[in-house]
Amino acid sequence: MCKLVTTKEILKKAQEGKYAVPAFNIHNLETIRVVVETAAEMKSPVIIAGTPGTIKYAGGEYLVAILEAASKKHNIPIALHLDHFEDVEEIKKYIDEGFTSAMIDASKKSYEENIKTVKEVVDYAHERGVVVEAELGKLGGQEDDLVVDEKDAMYTNPDQAKEFVEKTGIDSLAVAIGTAHGLYKGEPKLDYDRLKEIRKEVEVPLVLHGASDVPEESVKNTIELGICKVNIATDLKIPFAKAVKEYFKENPDANDPRKYMTPGKEAMKEIVVAKIKMCGSENRA
């Protein structure tokens, strides 16, 4: 592999093979290397995702350069994805910088405005060989600076989903079936029947957001029912931070990032391995 690929290439294969590809939210060089190197060891395709806050923090051009270097070094498919972007002009900017996949989240808008906004992004992206994911329905919880109150969370309507895909021309659809961003107050109750109906009506790959903290068996059930992309964010951050904190407790005078970042990377790697196995993407590269 010598260049980044699109999520369309990765997810179509997953759809045909009845497995899913994990999309890991990263924040810096350390987290990128953990995810990519672990995926390469396991021969898994991988999607590297960044929220608006992450891209602003790390720099879009830096991230593109790092991931392009990674794609030359490792012989696995790697896609670089904009996650939960609401600003159309920001998406266009990062597409021009080299991101291969974009999620436009206009789910807060009316159904008609959601379609109009998504279509604008699709037209721009497709002209440049970039693919688009959109969301129909709303997930509760918090993703970066995007907050949706639980009472405002709405499930995806299967009939509406079919029309939404046809009118927008999106390449993948994020569905709301009972997951939420962040950690759960109790075990989430996923609407598998709704997912079955959406899968019947929609041909494009389906995406599960808010998969951190969801029991493994529940996620596997959604994959069996047609989910092809599983987003992982919170489950990565917590063990990384915990391991670094523990290091500083034991080494209060530490000041070398190469040393205190290492336990965090090792803790994160365990999660990446588990999520790749959960998705069934090992040896699918």
179 φ/ψ angles, rounded to the nearest 5 degrees: -85, 170
Catalytic residue among 83, 105, 171, 235: 83
- Asked if residue 275 lies in contact with residue 5, where contact means CB atoms within 8 angstroms, the answer is no
* Known active-site residue 152: no
CA-based torsion, 124, 53, 34, 214: positive or negative: negative
Question: From the CB of residue 283, how many other CB atoms can be counted at a distance below 10 Å?
Answer: 9
Q: Which residues are CB-neighbours of 212 under 8 A, at least 6 positions away?
A: 182, 183, 231, 232, 233, 234, 235, 236
For residues 11 and 88, what is the distance between their CA atoms, to the nearest angstrom? 24
Cα→Cα distances 249→3, 236, 240, Å = 41, 21, 15
Query: How far out from the chain centre does Cα 263 lie?
Result: 24
Active centre residues (catalytic): 83
